[in-house]
Amino acid sequence: MPQNLKVVHLVISLDCGGMERIVLDLIREGKKRGQIVSVICMERPGTLSADAEALGGHIYCLQKRPGLQLSTFKRYEALLRELQPDLVHSHSIGCLFYCGPAARSLGIPVVHTEHINNIGHPMAGRFQRWRKTWLWSWAARFCQRFVCVSADIAAVLEQQRIVPKAKLRVLLNGIDTGRIASAESSAELRESLQIPAGARVVGTVGRLNPIKSQHLLVRAFAKLKPQFPDTHLLLVGDGPARAQIESLVSELQLADSVHLAGYQSEPQNYLKLMNVFALPSSLEGLPLVILEAWAAGLPVVATAVGGVPDLIRHGDNGYLIPRGDELALQESLTNLLKDSSLAESMGQRARQEAVSQYDLSRMAGDYATQYRELLDGRRRGPSLLPVTPLRAGA
């Protein structure tokens, strides 16, 4: 792999989210490996763009408007000609759709990562399904590696013949486990949220979005509250569903025990306030936030969607619940709140697993391997690489 490898990451924006934080981590780790890293934001820079620049990333934005914009193809090509990267890494199928043809015309290899199982999610109408399948199939022609963060995404893409098996890889996410484990619970932070000292806290971290189903967590909390009157609920994150959640909290008369902390750039400090973590999402890939909760030593209750069942072994390192099952969520939380030794042992097993299998350095190393293989393959001709998916520790 060449010295000072030039890598360009492609995103819709650097707004707050798990995928965007992975891009920041890849910038950080890439700089450690001597990479020259740039990020092209297709629509807008986003909240995390300043963080990306602080890490040494060079940020560019095409300011693409909504809808099909044919000029975007040429703008990508012009920018790639200017940057002259050794490799392009896209993190959205829309970015791959627009940039892939330009990269191919310039002879630049492309790695694409799919972070969520959008293709396998139920869609309304045959035309919408056909349109999405066509888009993904067409875009996938322009990458040499199509990386999925969980096995379920790869399985759908292979079964529906959207991406050839030879291109598919499964590469699990990673986090900075040491930074999260070293965070400390703050009495001042607890006081600022008006959570009494000693009160147990059920919490979640994530964008306030209908897909994340925080409303389900609020309803389940309302039902277990009479049994655990001193317990509080902490929601960390912001988004379009905030007003709906605030209205629900008011309707259920939970204003004194439900706390909306908004977006936080250092969520690990809030994880340290929690006793139990919940993720009732209706759609996920391989959620970073579960790994972060594990690294903080928390037992996790999560919906069995996407790559979550690949992480959680029900009853061992967490609890799995069916999508949309408010009763199962309530019962799982109740089990952990009434049995502190169970919650503690489950959280410790999860923490050990996060450290041993899901550390950021392993993920960055796996991507570096993909980069190296592609660049070596380009120099020696057609690739004869094995198609066995990468797994944690591979």
122: tokens are: 């139920």
Ordered domains of the chain (ranges, CATH): 6-174+359-380 (3.40.50.2000), 177-357 (3.40.50.2000)
Distances (CA, A) of 146 to 140, 198, 274, 284, 355: 7, 47, 36, 18, 26
- Read off the DSSP letter of residue 314: B
Q: Which residue has the tokens 């009157």?
A: 229
* d(C-alpha 379, C-alpha 381), whole Å: 6
Q: How far is CA 331 from CA 221, 275, 302, in A?
A: 10, 16, 12
What would the two tokens of residue 166 be? Answer: 């030879």
| Angstrom distance (rounded) from CA 310 to CA 289 | 14
For the whole model, what pTM was predicted? 0.81
Smallest Cα–Cα separation from 315: which of 300, 337, 305? 300
* Length, in residues, of the chain: 394
What's the confidence (pLDDT) of residue 394? 33
pLDDT at position 126: 73
| Residue 323 confidence (pLDDT) | 96
Contact 18, 150 (CB under 8 A): no
| Amino acid letter, residue 158 | E
pLDDT at 44 over 90: yes
Q: Which two tokens stand for residue 265?
A: 């750039």
Q: What confidence tier does 178 reach under pLDDT thresholds 50, 70, 90?
A: confident
User: Angle at which helices 360-380 and 18-32 pack, to 10 degrees?
Assistant: 70
Structure tokens that stand for 5 in this block: 């490898």
Task: Please give the sequence-ordered ranges of beta strands (E in DSSP) within the chain, or none if there are none.
Answer: 6-11, 36-41, 58-61, 87-90, 110-114, 145-148, 168-170, 201-205, 232-236, 258-262, 276-279, 300-303, 319-321
Contact 259, 245 (CB under 8 A): no
Q: For residue 148, give both structure tokens.
A: 């999925």
In this predicted structure, which of 1-15, 134-148, 216-230 has the lowest mean pLDDT? 1-15
| β-sheet bridge partners, residue 147 | 113, 169
Q: Which backbone phi and psi does 157 adopt, to 5 degrees?
A: -65, -35
Across the chain, what does the average pLDDT equal?
A: 90
Residue 341: alpha-carbon gap to chain centroid? 30
Collect all residues with Cβ–Cβ distance below 8 Å to 54 and sequence separation of at least 6.
none
Per-residue pLDDT band at 124 (split at 50, 70, 90) = low
Crossing angle of helices 340-357 and 326-338, in 10° steps, is: 100
CB 133 within 8 A of CB 93: no
Backbone angles phi, psi at 28, to 5 degrees: -60, -50
Q: Is the pLDDT of residue 380 over 60?
A: no
Q: How sure is the predictor about 391, in pLDDT bands with cuts at 50, 70 and 90?
A: very low
Distance CA 26, CA 247 (A): 38
Output 377 or 311, whichever has higher pLDDT.
311
Radius of gyration, CA atoms only, the chain: 21
Q: Take residue 165 and report the two structure tokens written for it.
A: 């098996």
Q: H or E segment at 113?
A: strand 110-114
Q: How confident is the model at residue 1 (pLDDT cuts 50, 70, 90)?
A: low
CA-nearest of 393, 178, 25, 78 to 9 is: 25
Q: Say if residue 84 is exposed, middle or buried (CB neighbours under 10 Å; 0-12, 13-18, 19+).
A: exposed
Share of the chain above pLDDT 70, in %: 93
